[in-house]
Amino acid sequence: MPNVAVNLPQEQPEQEVPVLRVENLHTWFEIRRMGFIKAGVVRALDGVSFELYQGETISIVGESGCGKSTLAKTILGIHHPTKGAIYFENRNLSDLDKQGWKKYRSSVGYIQQDPYGALPPFMSVQRILEEPMKINGISNKKEQAKRIRQVMEEVKLAPIEDFLYKFPHMLSGGQQQRLVIARAMILGPKLLIADEPVSMLDASVRVEILQLMQGLQKKHNLGIIYITHDLSTVRYFSERIFSMYGAKIIEKSATKALLKQPRHPYTQALFEATSDPDAENLKSFKEVPTGEPPSLMNPPKGCRFHPRCSKIIKGLCDKEMPPEFKINEEQGAACWLYKEDE
Ligand SMILES: Nc1ncnc2c1ncn2[C@@H]1O[C@H](COP(=O)(O)OP(=O)(O)O)[C@@H](O)[C@H]1O
Ligand code: SF4
Ligand SMILES: [Mg+2]
């Protein structure tokens, strides 16, 4: 019998669900004088949207005060969003009950800027690592010990017995941050949010800590949001770079494409200032561009960057807020320069 080609029904590839989806997120803080007189509102996060896929690292860069930590803390549930939504594995966080929040918190690890401030000073390393397990119902001592051993090995706090009974003040800055990372990893998270994780550490240990995070990301296929104002590190660390300005994400680009050609004038200025060929100078961030960051209580009309932008289109940029324009498959920017001619 001749061979008959049979057309088997093609299996539809499953649509990948982002691990995290942030939609039009706003976090505003009310400022009160003398505790009760309303003095204004700080729009610390003002309409941020993006998706992050499992195993992907996104770097978020931008000057101090542009809303990076507010974004991190809103995703973590430390701040309540004023408007907008956060979806974790397609579930809206605002629909979660107490149990759901507990599960969410165990799925998202948080690495702060100041490791010493993040660690309870009166707890030993062992207790610090036991605590999240207790809260999440892992009470079996053997299981606890196994997990502690595993994460301590992973973050290279070894020999383990030398560290288990130490208190945070007995550790170096690098060791403290390794402990913070171990604590963030102990429940097997899917996502890590690292807010300037190395900016308070000695230059000599920064690379080690970043390499450690990169190793964990690969091994556990973690999603990572890496927040930094140190641009020299992002090129080694992330698939995509988001640039933030005035409480908004104003450019979203694949890392290689952005390093080759940043698109938003703010990102251009930011990266121009660090294109110093001297590797030593690359280690430090230079405050750029000239001019003041915008007030988030009274932000400028139109594009928030327009008072500092050398490419301003008068009559447009100072009047209308630019939406996000897609430039190509890898780059997008909220800038009128990329508006397609109609
Ligand atoms: N809890 C808060 N109450 C009032 N204002 C805040 C609070 N947290 C942050 N802000 C303000 O929001 C803005 C963004 O801050 P932040 O997110 O910490 O920026 P970044 O991390 O980029 O330096 C700043 O103007 C800051 O002063
Ligand atoms: S929208 Fe206008 S002011 Fe804003 S960055 Fe683009 S060119 Fe500059
Ligand atoms: Mg911050």
Q: How many CB atoms lie within 10 A of CB 326?
A: 12
CB 300 within 8 A of CB 294: yes
pLDDT in the model for residue 14 = 58
Task: Give the ligand whose atoms come closest to the C-alpha of residue 196.
Answer: 3
Task: Give the ligand whose atoms come closest to the C-alpha of residue 80.
Answer: 1
- Domain 20-338: CATH superfamily, name plus number: P-loop containing nucleotide triphosphate hydrolases (3.40.50.300)
pLDDT in the model for residue 271 = 84
Identify the residue whose C-alpha is closest to ligand 2 atom 3: 306
pLDDT in the model for residue 292 = 86
User: What is the CA(69)–ligand 3 centre distance, in A?
Assistant: 4
Question: Is any ligand 2 atom within 6 A of the Cβ of residue 309?
Answer: yes
Residue 34 makes CB contacts below 8 A (sequence gap 6+) with: none
Task: Give the ligand whose atoms come closest to the C-alpha of residue 310.
Answer: 2
Q: What is the mean pLDDT of the segment spanning 204-212? A: 93
Mean pLDDT of the residues in the chain: 90
Identify the residue whose C-alpha is closest to ligand 1 atom 13: 44
User: What is the CA(265)–ligand 2 centre distance, in A?
Assistant: 7
Tokens 């992002």 found at: 234
SS (HEC) of 146-209? HHHHHHHHHCCCCCHHHHCCCCHHHCCHHHHHHHHHHHHHCCCCCEEEEECCCCCCCHHHHHHH
Q: What is the mean pLDDT of the segment spanning 245-256? A: 97
Q: pLDDT higher for 251 or 290? A: 251
User: What is the CA(281)–ligand 2 centre distance, in A?
Assistant: 29
Q: Distances from the Cα of 234 to the Cαs of 231, 256, 257, 318, in angstroms?
A: 6, 10, 13, 31
Question: Is any ligand 2 atom within 6 A of the Cβ of residue 312?
Answer: yes
| Ligand 3 is an ion; residues with CB less than 5 A from it | 68-69
User: What is the CA(336)–ligand 2 centre distance, in A?
Assistant: 6
Q: How confident is the model at residue 229 (pLDDT cuts 50, 70, 90)?
A: confident
Q: pLDDT higher for 7 or 177? A: 177
Question: Is any ligand 2 atom within 6 A of the Cβ of residue 246?
Answer: no
User: What is the CA(165)–ligand 3 centre distance, in A?
Assistant: 31
pLDDT tens digits along 142-157? 999 999 999 999 999 9
Candidate from 65-74, 243-252, 275-284 with smallest mean pLDDT: 275-284
Q: pLDDT higher for 290 or 274? A: 290
Q: How confident is the model at residue 76 (pLDDT cuts 50, 70, 90)?
A: very high
Identify the residue whose C-alpha is closest to ligand 1 atom 7: 29
Q: Distances from the Cα of 280 to the Cαs of 201, 232, 237, 258, 275, in angstroms?
A: 16, 10, 18, 22, 12
pLDDT in the model for residue 274 = 61
pLDDT in the model for residue 272 = 81
Question: Which ligand 2 atom sits closest to the C-alpha of 306?
Answer: 3
Look at residue 124 and tell me whether its pLDDT is greater than 80: yes
Q: How confident is the model at residue 107 (pLDDT cuts 50, 70, 90)?
A: very high
Look at residue 273 and tell me whether its pLDDT is greater than 90: no
Candidate from 29-33, 71-75, 115-119, 317-321 with smallest mean pLDDT: 29-33
Pocket of ligand 1 (CB under 6 A): 29, 42, 44, 62, 64-70, 296
User: What is the CA(304)–ligand 2 centre distance, in A?
Assistant: 8
Residue 233 corresponds to which tokens in the numbers above?
A: 């590190």
Q: Is 137 left (phi over 0), alpha (psi -120 to 50) or beta?
A: left
Identify the residue whose C-alpha is closest to ligand 2 atom 7: 312
pLDDT in the model for residue 290 = 77
> Model's pTM, two decimal places?
0.91
Q: What is the mean pLDDT of the segment spanning 199-225? A: 94
pLDDT in the model for residue 285 = 46
User: What is the CA(72)–ligand 3 centre distance, in A?
Assistant: 9
CB 246 within 8 A of CB 46: yes
